[in-house]
Amino acid sequence: MVSRKCPNCGGGLELSRSKTILECPFCGSKFEVEAEDKEKIAKKRNSLDEEIFCIERDFADARQKKQIGRCIDTIIYCMNELGTAEKIREHILKSLINGDNIASEDKNTALINAVRGRINAELTADEHIIAYCDLGIFSKGKEFTVLTDKRFLFFTKKKCTPASFDDIATLRLSDGGDIAAWYINGDLDKRIPSMEPTGQLTGAAVAFACLSAFEQQPDRDMTG
């Protein structure tokens, strides 16, 4: 959208959170968004934020697949509509912790308690679990992923591979089928799995990680 100046004080106008008005952070003046910009705003709300994501391939084909499409749509919703890591966290805890293989500190806690020793051995003193996901009915308590407020923890039978949000440079969508899974920095050991059938929890987890990273490092370099 074209940058505009406030006619009252000359300050730069900013788009409101609702994306329906322009606001001046200096004098508080508010103005309606001009018609020529409304279409641009609508398109931006339905796409990944180009200030955060550098996309190598068009997601149009991927979004036609049911689970992957829902996953990507959830990333966009969380990034554009919820807008902060804290609101995404609330959305995950209130709306997306469902199913027999998913847990949080408040729901399905028996799943976490069964492997509490392994998880606690990896957590730092100020780190908190947001979501726990078993990788399948035959891997309960053996292979699982934990989303915390700082990073992903990928547990296999023999080890735990951590991935801090601020270390994420790239996310590669799984190549085959309709599986909403993502590889962090191309590392096969750092695979954000399809956490449940709709792909929505996976999408929210990706969005949470991305926004957390940028809230911690707003000027981070995206060229790596």
Reported as a pLDDT band with limits 50, 70 and 90, residue 19 is low
Reported as a pLDDT band with limits 50, 70 and 90, residue 2 is very low
Bridge partners (DSSP) of residue 173 are 182
The pTM (predicted TM-score) of the whole model is 0.78
Reported as a pLDDT band with limits 50, 70 and 90, residue 35 is low
* Predicted local confidence at residue 120, as pLDDT: 95
The answer to whether 145 and 152 have CB atoms below 8 angstroms apart is yes
Sequence-separated (6 or more) residues with CB below 8 Å from residue 131: 92, 96, 97, 102, 103, 104, 146, 147, 195, 201, 205
| Cross-sheet strand order for the sheet of 171-173 | 171-173, 182-184, 191-192
Reported as a pLDDT band with limits 50, 70 and 90, residue 14 is confident
- Average pLDDT in the 199-204 region? 96
Domains of the chain, by residue range, sit at: 1-45, 57-216
Residue 17 has pLDDT above 60, yes or no: no
Please list the alpha-helical segments (H only) found in the chain.
35-45, 66-77, 85-91, 109-114, 116-120, 200-216
Q: Of 21-35, 46-60, 153-167, 179-193, which gets the smallest average pLDDT?
A: 46-60
Quote the mean pLDDT of the chain: 85
- Residue 194, both tokens: 């399809």
List Cα–Cα distances, 218 to 14, 80, 214, in angstroms: 18, 16, 5
The pLDDT tens digits for 98-120 are 888 999 999 999 999 999 999 99
The answer to whether 135 and 145 have CB atoms below 8 angstroms apart is yes
**CATH class of domain segment(s) 57-216:** mainly beta
Give the CA angle between residues 62, 63, 69 to the nearest 5°: 115
* Predicted local confidence at residue 33, as pLDDT: 76
